Amino acid sequence: MTGLIILLCIVMLAIVIIQIGKVTELTAQIRGEKDAQKESNEWNSKGLLIFGAVFLIFCVVSASYYRDDMLWYGVNESASVEGSSIDNLFNITLICTGIVFFITHILLFWFSYKYRGREGRTVLYMPHDNRLEMIWTAVPAVVLTFLVIAGLDTWNDVMADVKEGEDYIEIEANGMQFAWNLRYPGPDGKLGARDYKRITASNPFGQDFTDPKGLDDFYPDEIVLPVGKKVRVRITARDVLHNFYLPHFRTKMDAIPGIPTYWVFTPKITTEEYRQMLAKSDEWNEKMDPSDPESKTRAEMFNYELACAELCGKGHYSMRRVVRIVSQQEYEDWLKKQQSWYANNVHNKGGKVVINGKEESEDPFEGKVTPVDVVKDSTSTAVTVKKDSTAIAAPVKK
């Protein structure tokens, strides 16, 4: 029924437009073509001039009104060191394109008024002008050159990988329909090897547990990172194209099945500090539940988040993880509470995996005391890998 009403409205609108055209033609015939054309030129030129002024005012007012929500100015400062350079590039580009936008639109609407059709006015025929062509070719070329150079400089800064010997934290984010799986290294600080063929319900990353570096890896439910510490994120996907998106850190990178990507960034504002910044805005001081006087404000409930910025299916909206930026001490305290995924979910659990058509144990050390010892007591879970009389201990607190 709604579709029929919309169709009838469109038909009626078309009929009205046609009738207006006919009335205009009849009016022109009655009053004379020249007089009608002259009046039409006057009205159209003045109308365009008024429309241009209203349009530009609307652009300024709307941009000012939505500057914090849509353009992310105000309290929405970049929470990463690298993100600040992206914001600076955005501002430079906005200024350059904004100046061109206003100049061209002012001239467009002013010319439509100034050079409207008048009796006795002849058109200037100018098929070629070297000076004008040099100007409108050179000016954009120079501006774009500076923008491209600034863009390349920012790109090289933002996309630079970690250097050998540099102090950083490496984690992994694996996108799947419809969730993000997260993996952190244990006390050894190194992520273990993985193979997509080994992915099972109990081994979502497909870790190869013959690699001792992966025995202390753990899979948290949220991303927790220390402020001021460089972070390298391995970004992978299990099924379709996803996108690793941390808007507050200006971080956005595709997660592509079969093609690992990465992103390096350094958090500079803790979650609590960002909440305090947001609290300076009236909008963020609104209650989450206006009907509840005890309800917390939007600023108090704020959290950084990891989202998927690629439409990956009907459950796309649910791909969200909380991101917490904390002090170094808080981060270390959080690490002590994490548990080895292998020790608690794989070792001696009887899991099976099919590799090249052959079923084998998911745990290469199943039922063995050595070279892997798993010691569980009331306070800790420890994984010890013994190889060539060398022990690598990876304790994980409960």
Q: How wide is the angle at C-alpha 97 spanned by C-alphas 91 and 101, nearest 5°?
A: 135
Which residues in the chain show pLDDT less than 50?
370-372, 374-398
What is the secondary structure of 159-225 as a DSSP string?
SPPPPTT---EEEEEEEETTEEEEEB--TT--PPPB-GGG-BTTBTT-B-TTSGGGTT-B--SSEEE
Residue 241 DSSP code: -
Rounded-to-integer distance, Cα 347 and Cα 209, Å: 10
Specify whether the CB–CB gap between 75 and 68 falls below 8 A: yes
Tokens 């954009």: give the residue: 140
Output the pLDDT for position 41.
79
pLDDT at 29: 63
Bridge pairing between strands 231-237 and 169-176:
parallel
Rounded CA separation 398/379 (Å): 6
The half-sphere exposure of 135 on its side-chain side, counting CA atoms within 13 A, is 4
What was the pLDDT predicted at 389?
36
Please, which residues have CB within 8 angstroms of residue 231's CB and are 6 or more apart in sequence? Answer: 168, 169, 170, 171, 225, 264, 265, 266, 267
- What domains are defined for the chain? 29-119 (no CATH), 169-364 (2.60.40.420)
Gap between the Cα atoms of 168 and 187, Å rounded: 14
DSSP one-letter code for 227 = T
Q: In whole angstroms, what separates CA 136 from the centre of its chain?
A: 35
For residue 302, what are the CA distances in angstroms to 69, 148, 278, 297? 15, 36, 9, 9
Other Cβ atoms less than 10 A from the Cβ of 216: the count is 29
| pLDDT for position 24 | 67
Per-residue CA distances from 207 to 84, 201, 223 (Å): 36, 12, 20
Q: With the CA atoms of 243, 247, 251 and 254 taken in that order, what torsion angle do they form, in degrees rounded to the nearest 10?
A: 10
Question: Judging by beta carbons within 10 Å of its beta carbon (0-12, 13-18, 19+), is residue 393 exposed, middle or buried?
Answer: middle
What's the confidence (pLDDT) of residue 213?
Answer: 87
* pLDDT tens readout for residues 191-206: 999 888 888 888 899 8
- Rounded to an integer, what is the distance from CA 296 to the centroid of its chain? 27
pLDDT of 32 reads: 61
Q: What is the pTM of this model?
A: 0.76
**Predicted local confidence at residue 380, as pLDDT:** 44
Residue 375 is which amino acid? V
Whole-number pLDDT of residue 23: 67
What separation in angstroms does the CA of 258 have from each of 185, 195, 240, 326, 360? 22, 11, 10, 33, 24
Residue 312 has a CB neighbour count (10 Å cut-off) of 20
